[in-house]
Amino acid sequence: MFCKSINGKCQVILVLVIILYAQAPVLGYELRVVRSISAPSVKTAGLAWDNGALWVYGYDVRGSETYNRLYKVDPSNGGILEDFPLYWPDDIGDLAFDGTYIWACRLYDNKISKINPDDGTVIESYEAFGRPAGMAFDGEYLWNVSDVGDHRGTLYKINPASFEVVAHYDLNVSNAWGLAYDGSHFWALDYSGPSGSMHLIDSMDGSVIQSYSWMGERIGLAWDGEYLWESHFGGYFSGGGVYRWGTIEQVEVPEPTIMLLFSVGSLALLSKRRP
């Protein structure tokens, strides 16, 4: 507040400064793998975080047969806490955990299954929208990305109680086989063979905020409240018939930074004429 004399009058100027706080990621920051743990099976795919543990979809390839299993893993050392067989032949994409149930993307029969985490039984399966790949839960809704056909790169917001689509957005990520929600934004993992990318996604409209060059052969994504977790697919090397065991990696992401937005205004009050 200050006084400015105009024609013998004191005009008191009150300056109002409105400070708005907004969170935004640190652009240009590179992601990095903090550490890795051994996966519970030769191949790994979907991941979901469950109150200090990781749910992992894994399968072993033995000759022409595939053995699908759902594992609950200790993220500190990779130890298996629980282990359930999954009785379907097709591969799974990503997983999500809604606090009660596990949701699994079934890539090759275009279904999404709700699974009881106590015993691994499938409670119900739903027809997906195209081939379901990445999957996340934001505390209220399921989010799923399709990766083939007319639905390719579409992000669906789904009511888990009715499985109705509430909204959908064009994600512009062609092979999003991993999806995670960090409380503000989505992270999408683009699987593209030996090379890939990671994308920070606006949760309001599905637009890409920032893209990062990243390693390929990563499938499945989960958020633990501080770090991302991803599956390094693993699998079979034809040369010499050697198996490469899968791994699970903890990834550090840029913390949001606080931006201060100033709005300055003034209010004039006229005082009595000076003597």
**What's the pTM?**
0.78
Mean pLDDT computed over 180-187: 94
- pLDDT single digits (tens) 243-273: 567 789 999 987 654 444 333 443 333 333 3
Write out pLDDT tens, residues 217-240. Answer: 788 899 999 999 998 876 554 444
- pLDDT tens for each residue of 105-136: 987 788 899 999 999 999 999 988 878 889 99
pLDDT computed for residue 224 by the predictor: 95
Per mean pLDDT, which range of 32-36, 64-68, 248-252 is the poorest?
64-68
- Mean pLDDT for 182-200 is 83
**What would the pLDDT profile of 133-168 be if each residue is shown by its tens digit?**
899 999 999 999 887 656 777 899 999 999 999 998
Contact 184, 256 (CB under 8 A): yes
Q: What pLDDT is attached to residue 162?
A: 93
Cα separation, 170 vs 205, whole angstroms: 8
Judged by average pLDDT, the poorest of 48-52, 67-71, 166-170, 267-271 is 267-271
Query: What domains are there in the chain, each with its CATH number?
Result: 1-25+256-275 (no CATH), 27-254 (2.120.10.30)
> What percent of the chain lies above the pLDDT cut of 70?
71
